[in-house]
Chain A
Amino acid sequence: MKKVGMLFASILLLAGCNAPWASDSSGETGTENKDDQVTIEVMMFEGGFGSEWVKSSADAYMEQNENVSVEVIASPDIHQQLQTRFLSNDVPDLMVPGPSFDIMGVINDGKILGLDDYLEEDSYSGEEKWLDTFEQGQFNLKRDGKTLGIPTVFSSGYVWWYNEALFEENGWETPETWQDLYVLKDQAAEKEIPLFAVPGMHPGYYFNGIFIPLVERIGGKQAVLDAFNLKEGAWTSEAFAEAARESQKMVEEGLFLEGTFGLSHTEAQTLFFQNQALFATAGTWLEGEMSDIIPEDFKLRAMNQPIWEGSDAEFLAPVSTGWGGAWYVTEDSENKEETVQFLKFLSSSEEVKKMVESRGLASVVKNTEDAISSDALKSALTVMQEAEGSYAPTAINDSYPEMTNNMINIYQSLMLNEITPEEFTQRAEEFAAQVRDDSSIQKMEFSW
């Protein structure tokens, strides 16, 4: 009896807090530090770009500034952690929310700090204005005229990747027009290689990498813009109808790897790197994400989507909008000055160069292009430079995630031949109308 009572008491005592090994790493430490000690909490999405570069920059920063300690929490499900933190008003100082976080929601609630005043200040090196250290073309994460996000990682949109070595070896040409795809298909059939390995478990890869580009190639920029701006009838326009028919035809003609509609994207990409398909669609994170398994003789190169014969659409290159991948300082941060100072350090060309070298990423920070050592990324940069301009196929996802998810789902049905192209465009138009008629959703005006 006594024993049970003791156990009961000690368990109660123990249950009063979290498990002892879990408590010290979760945020509020540093109470025993000196008075001027500041802790900057960083929460970041960890995807194909990894997080090691931020962690090593944080270490370097802490060495230079002994009164500051920087804690980096990185995880692929950071959006869930962030949502909880925002709801309980226990926000980190600095964050990269990743693609699944409702960033527009917290921006609309005034939870994100406007950075324009800081951008007018000196940069970390003190040589020029902070603002002038960025390439202006990519630097546009603004809402109501306020700059909210600082992108440091530049990514192309979903381009097509291929193995140049394989093409050279067989004397194949990369397709100039969409119709060339079918020529290439017959050539590659002799080697029993289909054209595309795509992840059916994540249909967004071909919605963004094949469908929206196809619409742009057929109907031009305006067709995409009208649809994204939710103009009535835009999703049933001829460009969308044609692109939907073509999508289904591509499947019927056997352009896709067998089994591909049941794969996750790392699986599909692995098969691509095993030369079991000619193309994979992805952004510039592809090389970093798959670095462990890329064969040495694999010459990974990017190409823009081919043009549509008989259309006079602009030849644009896809870019990623980057809301999810940018840095944000929170309005409720208790250490705004120190956090901005750290962000200046993080986005200085020295630190970004290190990141570009170690993870092979291009950047929007000026004077870092030369640091790109990877041929794959150089080819992606060439795609951007050779195009007549850019467009952002993924932009609707930032503003209307629920609608985009629905669109992607029915696109999957289209590819599996479960609905007709007409049904697809009609349903898509209905989803667009739902958002258009819902006054609680803040509308975004897209223009490229």
Chain B
Amino acid sequence: MNRATRNLGSHLLLILCSLLILLPVLWVFINSLKPSAAILLEPFSLPTVPALDNYVRAWTDGGLGIGFLNSIFVTVITVFFIVIISAMAAYALSRKRFRFRIAIQNTFLTGLMLPTFLAMAPLFLLMNDLGLVNSHLGLIAVYVAYSLPFTIFMLIAFFNQIPHTLEEAATIDGCGPIKAFWKIMLPLAKPGLISAAIFNFVGIWNEYILALILLSDDPLKTLPVKLANIMMRQQYHTDWGALYAGIVLSFIPVVIFYLIFQRRLIEGSTAGAVKE
């Protein structure tokens, strides 16, 4: 009992914070079930009949459906390549000793500090010259490139924890370095790889500015850009119902993802920073 009262203050504070996080989401969800006029004029009324057609319009007319598919396509492929390519680089940087190791590591380190928008104009023109504007392939390549620095450093930390003996044993058995990497290191680093994948999944799924610049054709746009377009459309229509429904729709996949991977996501996010 003593303990409970001691923690009362902590609980109060945290409940308040939780409300601040969850109430806005709840309010938008309730409003997303109301017709547009009611949203503007009676913001605190409860929906009488759930206006599910808001969701249908957001999904079809608002283009969230196609944006959803595009985002899945882009995100899955991007994350796959990020993890493979980063793991290869991290393995070399963690395990091998060679002349330019520090220089290469520092080059990647700089990338942690480069905000994507700095070279916005040259990047766009480069992609244009390569014919990669308005192409998912182009967006994926840029996503992978910009995600490498963080993921490489996260994975170096993981590889550093794997004892050298296992690998040495493999080499004695006649495994070449590439085979040793595939057969020994990758399976051992699996938890790290999964954490990296989950962490990047969220980042790529939510990415907005690069997609905004590099994809302008409607059928190619990803979910965040489609969502921003719905907001832009409100300048010429009065469909707030679809806007609110769109917000909720964009929450659903990440919430499901979060419920499944919550623990790994939180651990993965902290791994790179804390373990070193």
Interface residues, chain A, with chain B CB atoms under 8 Å away: 1, 7-8, 11, 14-19, 21-23, 25-27, 46-48, 73, 75-77, 80-81, 83-85, 87-88, 202, 264-267, 270-271, 274, 289-290, 292-293
CA distance A292 to B136 in the complex (A): 37
Within 8 A of A (CB), among B181-239: 182-183, 216-220, 229, 232-239
B160 sits at the interface (CB 8 A): no
Residue of B131, B219, B233, B236 contacting most chain A CB atoms (<10 Å): B236
Interface residues, chain B, with chain A CB atoms under 8 Å away: 36-37, 40-41, 66, 69-70, 73-74, 77, 80-81, 84, 125, 128, 131, 133-137, 140, 182-183, 216-220, 229, 232-239
> Are A76 and B235 in contact, with the CB atoms below 8 A?
yes
CA distance A8 to B137 in the complex (A): 15
**Contact status of A18 and B69, CB under 8 A, knowing A26-B219, A77-B229:** no
Complex partner residue of B66 from A22, A85, A267, CB under 8 angstroms: A22
Complex partner residue of B238 from A21, A76, A80, A266, CB under 8 angstroms: A266
Q: DSSP majority for the B interface?
A: helix
Given contacts A7-B80, A46-B236, list 15 more A-B pairs with CB under 8 A: A1-B183, A11-B81, A15-B77, A15-B136, A22-B66, A22-B70, A75-B229, A77-B232, A81-B218, A84-B133, A88-B128, A270-B37, A274-B41, A289-B238, A292-B237
Report the minimal beta-carbon distance from B214 to chain A, rounded to whole angstroms: 9
CA distance A86 to B135 in the complex (A): 16
**Contact status of A88 and B133, CB under 8 A, knowing A202-B235, A267-B40:** yes
Complex partner residue of B218 from A75, A264, A292, CB under 8 angstroms: A75
Report the minimal beta-carbon distance from A310 to chain B, rounded to whole angstroms: 38
CA distance A418 to B87 in the complex (A): 55
**Contact status of A22 and B235, CB under 8 A, knowing A11-B80, A87-B128:** no
> Are A26 and B220 in contact, with the CB atoms below 8 A?
yes
CA distance A25 to B211 in the complex (A): 19
Report the minimal beta-carbon distance from B140 to chain A, rounded to whole angstroms: 6
CA distance A82 to B184 in the complex (A): 51
> Are A22 and B237 in contact, with the CB atoms below 8 A?
no
On chain B, the residues within 8 Å of A83 by CB distance are 216
> Are A81 and B235 in contact, with the CB atoms below 8 A?
no
Across the interface, name the chain B residue whose C-beta is closest to A288: B236
Complex partner residue of B70 from A19, A47, A289, CB under 8 angstroms: A19
CA distance A29 to B219 in the complex (A): 14
**Contact status of A73 and B128, CB under 8 A, knowing A19-B136, A22-B66, A88-B133:** no
On chain B, the residues within 8 Å of A22 by CB distance are 66, 69-70, 136, 219-220
> Are B36 and A292 in contact, with the CB atoms below 8 A?
yes
CA distance A290 to B239 in the complex (A): 10
> Are B36 and A18 in contact, with the CB atoms below 8 A?
no
Report the minimal beta-carbon distance from A292 to chain B, rounded to whole angstroms: 5
On chain A, the residues within 8 Å of B40 by CB distance are 267, 270-271
Across the interface, name the chain A residue whose C-beta is closest to B215: A84
**Contact status of A266 and B235, CB under 8 A, knowing A15-B77, A88-B128, A88-B131:** yes
Complex partner residue of B232 from A16, A76, A88, A270, CB under 8 angstroms: A76
Report the minimal beta-carbon distance from B246 to chain A, rounded to whole angstroms: 15
Report the minimal beta-carbon distance from B11 to chain A, rounded to whole angstroms: 36
> Are A264 and B234 in contact, with the CB atoms below 8 A?
yes
> Are B238 and A292 in contact, with the CB atoms below 8 A?
yes
On chain A, the residues within 8 Å of B136 by CB distance are 15, 17-19, 22
Residue of A73, A84, A85, A87 contacting most chain B CB atoms (<10 Å): A84
Across the interface, name the chain B residue whose C-beta is closest to A83: B216
CA distance A220 to B135 in the complex (A): 52
**Contact status of A266 and B219, CB under 8 A, knowing A19-B136, A21-B69:** no
6 contacts between A and B (CB under 8 A): A1-B183, A8-B84, A46-B236, A47-B235, A77-B229, A266-B234
CA distance A18 to B219 in the complex (A): 10
